[in-house]
Structure formats: C-alpha cells, structure tokens
Amino acid sequence: MKNAQLIKRAVLNSLGVLVYVYLVSLVMTQGEKIFGAADHKPFAPIAFLLLFILSALITGGLVLGKPILLFLDGLKKEGVKLLIYTGASLLALVLIMFSVLIYLK
C-alpha cells in the first residue's frame, strides 16, 4: 500500500471510531429517556458492561484489524505505519475535541 492509501485508511478508521463513540455517548446521555429510570434493575450494570466489552471489540477492530492483517501478510512496514497513522489521527481528533470543549467553556 502507498503512504497516501495508508493515511486515507487511518483517517477513515479514526472517523469510524469517532462516529461509534458519538453514538454510544448519545445512548449513555439519553439512557434515562430511552430506558427509563434504572431503580432496582440489576440489568443496567450488566448492559453497561456488555456495551463496554462490545465497544472494545468494535474500536479494537477498527484500529487494529487492518494493521494486523497487513503484518500477518508479510507487509510488516505497512502494518506498523497504518497503526501509527491511525494513532496519530485519533490523537488529532482528541486534540480537536478538547479544543472545542475549551472554546465552548
């Protein structure tokens, strides 16, 4: 893969993580409206922990899936580059989010 393709893939993976995190945060912030109050319901913590595990699986797949496949296919340099580019684009998104939070303060 060319560097431009790796960078494009990394940015798309990072945006996928951002969209997923946004959707999960919507469910978490609107949970009481969607599911009602969680009084005396043992299922709320179970549902939260299952969502946490599912989130690890989905975001792990988005971040690590293709780099691992490239690495196992013998394209070790490309796999490592893709992982680094994905990490850098995630860092950029985090910095943008914190900048927006500081600006809106």
Opening angle at CA 12, ends 34 and 69, nearest 5 = 105
Share of the chain above pLDDT 70, in %: 98
DSSP letter (8 states) at residue 30 = T
**Residue 68 predicted with pLDDT over 90:** yes
Give the C-alpha separation, 79 to 66, whole Å. Answer: 7
Residue, of 25 and 38, whose pLDDT is higher: 25
Give the C-alpha separation, 105 to 97, whole Å. Answer: 12
Count of structural domains within the chain: 1
Give the C-alpha separation, 81 to 62, whole Å. Answer: 15
Give per-residue pLDDT as tens, 34-55: 877 767 678 888 888 999 999 9
User: What is the model's pLDDT at position 103?
Assistant: 95
- Give the containing element (helix H, strand E) for 29: helix 3-29
User: What is the model's pLDDT at position 40?
Assistant: 65
Rounded average pLDDT over 5-28: 95
Q: What residue numbers bound the domain in which 51 lies?
A: 3-104
